[in-house]
């Protein structure tokens, strides 16, 4: 079977400065270099061979690579067939801000190669979220999940989930979401609007009060509004825009997952009017 061509795909999140890279290489080798950011990645296929901390490292599928800022490393295929990986580049200010809840001195990785399936899943989810712009709360939640899974690797205790729950904060956040249903707030913006200490305080308070995350709640109320508009005869494309979905296909995916049918099918059942191709209606 012929080897797939080398490929690198990069997306940058302007709000956080985080970059997500998905790459595959057959024979490419990186020269020794360093980064300003924290590197958190997972090998997806093959053997990823690299020099770090004075020793050769060999990462196979599912293993986690952790590299600190200014840590010199290289990279190459460690076996025939090449390798593929996902990597998040986490700015120092973002990581330190997320770890600001406790002491412990400067953070640091104990090792540069680990087995941690939960962190690998979080890296995959965050990479996918960064590739789908349009749901800021979902992106923030995915990035915070990476931060949560990184804490033991950085020698930092987990945040106490019982601390700083606040019913008033949760109610204010809920009101903000209802008042600006089509908006796309980030977790930090929503936390400030609700009077929370930070986005983590908001997340704990909201889940304690309503049993779900702010993002999941926002999707739920958008879908309720979408059903109402579709039942009134509004076209799916117009409903998607009115309810804050990125586009009609985004509405369609969410609607089918929640209700088991497409927005157009639901509209037709409620009104007897089939949806028509844009430009013909």
Pick the CATH number of 222-271 from 3.20.20.80, 1.10.8.420, 1.10.10.60, 1.10.760.10: 1.10.10.60
Question: Does the pLDDT of residue 259 top 70, yes or no?
Answer: yes
C-alpha torsion 178→182→183→187, nearest 10: 60
- The number of residues in the chain equals 281
CA proximity to 84, closest of 53, 51, 59, 121: 59
| Helix, strand, coil abundance in the chain, percent, nearest 5 | 40, 20, 40
Q: Which residue intervals of the chain are DSSP H helices? A: 92-98, 117-130, 136-150, 167-179, 187-194, 199-210, 214-231, 236-242, 248-259, 263-271
pLDDT of residue 279: 37
DSSP 44-59: EEE-EEEEETTEEEEE
pLDDT 10s digits, 23-77: 988 877 778 888 999 999 999 999 898 888 888 889 999 999 999 999 988 888 7
Which residues have CB under 8 Å from 97's CB, separation 6+?
Answer: none
Question: Does the pLDDT of residue 21 top 70, yes or no?
Answer: yes
Domain ranges of the chain: 7-154, 167-211, 222-271
Question: Does the pLDDT of residue 100 top 80, yes or no?
Answer: no
Question: Does the pLDDT of residue 222 top 50, yes or no?
Answer: yes
Structure tokens given for 58: 């060999």
Question: Does the pLDDT of residue 277 top 50, yes or no?
Answer: no
Question: Does the pLDDT of residue 3 top 80, yes or no?
Answer: no
Contact 114, 62 (CB under 8 A): no
Could you please state the CATH topology (level 3) that the domain comprising 7-154 is classified under: Jelly Rolls (2.60.120)
pTM: 0.83
Please, what's the b/e burial string for 238-261 (b: 16 or more CB within 10 A of its CB; e: otherwise)? ebbebbbbeebebbbebbeeeeee
pLDDT 10s digits, 101-154: 656 667 899 999 999 999 999 999 999 999 886 789 999 999 999 999 999 999
pLDDT 10s digits, 154-177: 988 776 544 456 899 999 999 999
């Amino acid at each position: 079977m012929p080897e797939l061509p080398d490929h690198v795909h990069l997306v940058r999140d302007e709000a956080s400065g985080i970059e997500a890279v998905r790459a595959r290489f057959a024979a490419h080798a990186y020269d020794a270099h360093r980064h300003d950011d924290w590197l958190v990645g997972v090998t997806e296929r093959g053997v990823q061979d690299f020099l770090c901390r004075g020793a050769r490292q060999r990462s196979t599928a599912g293993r986690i690579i952790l590299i600190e800022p200014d840590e010199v490393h290289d990279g190459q295929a460690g076996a025939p067939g090449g390798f593929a990986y996902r990597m998040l580049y986490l700015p120092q200010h973002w990581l330190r801000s997320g770890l600001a809840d406790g002491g412990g001195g400067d953070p640091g990785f104990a090792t540069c190669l680990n087995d941690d399936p939960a962190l690998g899943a979080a890296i995959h989810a965050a990479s996918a979220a960064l590739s789908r712009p349009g749901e800021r709360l979902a992106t923030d939640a995915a990035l915070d999940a990476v931060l949560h899974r990184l804490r033991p690797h950085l020698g930092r205790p987990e945040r106490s989930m019982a601390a700083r729950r606040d019913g008033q904060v949760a109610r204010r956040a809920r009101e903000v979401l209802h008042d600006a249903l089509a908006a796309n707030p980030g977790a930090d913006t929503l936390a400030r609007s609700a009077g929370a200490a930070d986005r983590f305080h908001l997340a704990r308070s909201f889940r304690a009060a309503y049993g779900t995350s702010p993002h999941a709640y926002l999707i739920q109320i958008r879908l309720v509004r979408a059903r109402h508009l579709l039942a009134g005869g509004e076209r799916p494309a117009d409903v998607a825009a009115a309810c804050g979905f990125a586009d009609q296909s985004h509405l369609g995916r969410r609607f089918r997952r929640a209700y088991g049918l497409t927005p157009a099918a639901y509209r037709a059942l409620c009104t007897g009017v089939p949806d028509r191709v844009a430009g013909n209606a």
